[in-house]
Structure 1
Amino acid sequence: MNRIDRLTAIMLKLQSKRYVTIDDIAEQYSISERTVFRDIKALGEAGVPIGFEKDRGYYIVEGYSIPPVMFTKEEAGAILLASKLLKRQGDQSLVDHFEQALTKIRAVLKNTQKDYVQELEKYIEVVSPNVSVEKAFPDLYLTDIKDALVHHQILSFEYYANYSDSYSSREVEPLGICHYANHWHLIAYCRMRHGIRDFRTDRISKLHVLDQFFDPSLRDDFKEHIFVRQMSQDVREIRVLFEPDVARLIGDQRYYYGFIEEKKTEAGVEMIFMVGECEYFARWLLMFTDRVRILNSEKLEQQIQQFIEQLSSHYAMVH
């Protein structure tokens, strides 16, 4: 990146955040701290009012605005791809906001760039399993949840538990959101359970942001809950051997079931999964019948055997 492009990028970065540290700039653009100082000075000499606050970093003085950003066709194309993915993976409130943002972005594109994006859109489609959405679970609350996270406000909602087919009223302190297993999850301190819990957002209904606040520093970090507690308490390593022709057909399915790595052997393809619910994983493995072998889990084998016996009994009764 030449210096002119870098100065423009640094100026945009300064506008995108309240404070930007020297380390942030140096790391992103692979330059030394001395070069950062020189670039900041050059921007100041060019008329950009940049301030500095100890222990926080640099900032653009309030009231100054940078002229509207012009996108390249590649950047506009990347944003278009993101919008397609969001329609599949986000709740409707996020989709609506993103569509509004995309309309504004299209408005500042040059005519040739608009033509490029319009033509590109004809050739993009995101194909993923279509999950039917029940009216009870509209999954419309991520925007409210995001606001509550920023302002540290208590959330109140009804939560549906699949295992018991029942609802419970919850008041929680929202700590973070994450996306895994094809769903958005709210990680929060549950005041009813007196501990950090994981709530699938598509099972939340009647959500309200209360005029009550909490101190998030008094709670464990939600990332620790996801990446440490989840791995140590709820998830176990499962090794499965697939016959080669079956392994080729699995494709991206594996990533919905905790796939982390694979290796080819003389007997087939050995895959390693981090599995939480054996029942869920066992139902998936059943579709491969005798073309798959479990290598290290007696519990999973017993679960599959139980399903086989249930199927045998069911179809014996039918006939």
Structure 2
Amino acid sequence: MNRLDRLSAILIQLQSRKVVKAQDLASRYDISLRTVYRDMRSLEEAGVPIIGEAGVGYSLAAGYRLPPVMFSREEATAFLTAEKLVSSLTDAANSASYRAALDKIRAVLRSTEQNYLEHIDTRIEVLESRRPANHPGENAMQTILKAIAERRLLEIDYFAYYRQEHTNRQVEPIGVFFLDNFWHLIAWCRSRKAIRDFRFDRILNIRLLELQFDDIHEPFMNYVRSLYREMALQPVQISLDQHAYIHLGEQKYYQGFVSEEITPEGVIMDFMTMSLEGFARWYMSFSDCATILSPNALIEKVKTIHTAAEKKMQQMQCC
């Protein structure tokens, strides 16, 4: 990026945020802090009213606004691609809001860029998952984001999959993230008095309360890193007959699939699983065509489940 483009980009950054830190600008544009300071002086000399506060960052004086911004063809295409993702991966209300925003962006584009977007609009598509979606209402995302922004409590009816129980919780929302085709809410659960990860598709109902909470929580990404650092993934390796392998389909991805190797004897598959119990129960659905190579703990899990199943069958026959 040449210096003129960088100065324009920094000016847009200043208008889009209340405060911009020098280190953030240096990281974003891959320049030194010294270059950031020099760029700021250049903008000030050009008449831009920049307020700089040591230890805080830079901001624009109240009331200063840039003239209308023109988007490049590449930027407009990025917006169009994002619209496809938002429409597929969020709820209807959030999707509608994004489409309305994109219409405003289209309105300020030059006619050549408008024609370009119309031409490729039908050539980009995001296919929805074959698994049925279960969103908690039409405006779940907007409700959660509103609660985060206004520091208001949420009341949720939640289904805990592993415990197979329904609970009602009051939570202090901290942030949301998308992982493996699911949206997650990170929040402080007042019932459990701890940080919890709530999957959107397991939230049966959600209500925005008037009660506010003190935002004393750590930065959102600290919780995300902590939760998934503590989540102990266990390596698993199995061998599967080739005629059975073709029937697994996308199921393997839900079990932590990592890699596979096709051999004359069969397919060697490697997984990283969060639950040996869950993996063992999935494995038993095709265990007549497979062999566990490691770990031994998984073999013991399968034996235990198999023994319990045989006992159940004997009890049923006696009855």
Instruction: Give unpaired runs (5+ residues) of structure 2.
Output: none
2:21 counterpart of 1:21: yes
Structure-2 change in CA distance of 1:297 and 1:77 (3 Å): farther
Q: Which residue pairs with 1:186 in the alignment?
A: 185
**Displacement, 1:37?**
1.8
Task: Count residues with an aligned counterpart.
Answer: 309
The more displaced of 266-275 and 154-163 is 266-275
- Measure, in 1, the Cα distance between the counterparts of 2:110 and 2:241: 50
1:80 deviates by: 1.5
2:175 corresponds to 1:160: no
- 1:231: how far off? 4.2
Change (3 A) 1:57 1:96: same
Q: What residue is the counterpart of 1:49 in the other structure? A: 49
CA contact (8 A) 1:141 1:207 kept: yes
Please give the alpha-carbon distance, in whole angstroms, between the structure 1 residues aligned to 2:98 and 2:86: 8
Matching residue of 1:209: 208
What is the TM-score normalised by the length of structure 2? 0.80
Is the 1:247–1:269 contact (alpha carbons within 8 Å) kept by the matching residues of 2?
A: no
- Which deviations, in whole Å up to 9, do the C-alpha atoms of 1:170-194 show, x marking residues without a partner? 1111122222232111121211222
Moved more, 85-94 or 48-57: 85-94
Partner of 1:40: 40
Task: Specify the alignment match of 2:126 in structure 1.
Answer: 126
Q: Tell me, in whole angstroms, the C-alpha distance in 1 between the residues paired with 2:299 and 2:229.
A: 18
Partners in 1 of 2:252 and 2:82 — Cα distance? Answer: 23
The farther-off stretch of 20-29 and 297-306 is 297-306
Deviating more after overlay: 198-207 vs 2-11: 198-207
Offset of residue 62 of structure 1:
1.7
Question: Partner of 2:184: helix, strand, or coil?
Answer: strand
Checking the alignment, whether the CA contact within 8 Å between 1:77 and 1:117 is kept in structure 2 is yes
**Contact 1:282–1:300, Cα closer than 8 Å, also in 2:** no
Q: Secondary structure of the equivalent of 1:216?
A: coil
Deviation at 1:89, TM superposition (A): 1.7
The residue identity in structure 2 corresponding to 1:258 is G
Same amino acid, percent of matched pairs: 32
Aligned-residue CA RMSD in angstroms? 3.6
TM-aligned CA deviation for residue 116 of structure 1: 1.4
Shift of 1:100: 1.4
Q: Give the letter for the 2:234 counterpart.
A: E
Alignment of 1:101-180 (within 5 A): 101-133=101-133, 137-138=136-137, 140-162=139-161, 167-180=166-179
Mapped partners of 2:110, 2:40: distance in 1: 30
Question: Would the alpha carbon gap of residues 127 and 288 (structure 1) be closer, same or farther in structure 2, given more than 3 Å must change?
Answer: farther
**d(CA) in 2 for partners of 1:146 and 1:253?**
32
Query: Does structure 2 conserve the Cα–Cα contact (< 8 Å) formed by 1:238 and 1:275?
Result: no
Separation in 1 of the partners of 2:301 and 2:221? 33
Distance in 2, Cα, partners of 1:275 & 1:171: 27
Q: Deviations over 1:202-256 (max 9, x none)?
A: 3324422223222232x46654544334443x54312224669798998976554
What's the CA shift for 1:20?
1.0
Match of 1:199 in 2: 198
Contact 1:238 1:297 in 2 (8 A): no
User: Residue by residue, what CA displacement relative to the aligned partner does 1:130-177 show, whole Å, maximum 9, x if unpaired?
Assistant: 332458x33632212112222322112222344566543211111222
Name the SS for the 2:137 alignment partner.
coil
Bigger Cα displacement from structure 2, 291-300 vs 172-181:
291-300
Shift of 1:95: 1.3
- More deviation in 194-203 or 107-116? 194-203
Shift of 1:19: 0.9
Q: 1:48 to 1:92 in 2, by over 3 A?
A: same
Indicate conservation of the 8 Å contact 2:153/2:173, yes or no: yes
How many Å separate the matches in 2 of 1:47 and 1:117? 36
CA–CA distance in structure 1, aligned partners of residues 303 and 84 of structure 2 = 37
Which residue does the alignment assign to 2:5?
Answer: 5
Contact 1:275–1:281 under 8 Å retained in 2:
no
CA distance in 2, matches of 1:222, 1:307: 42
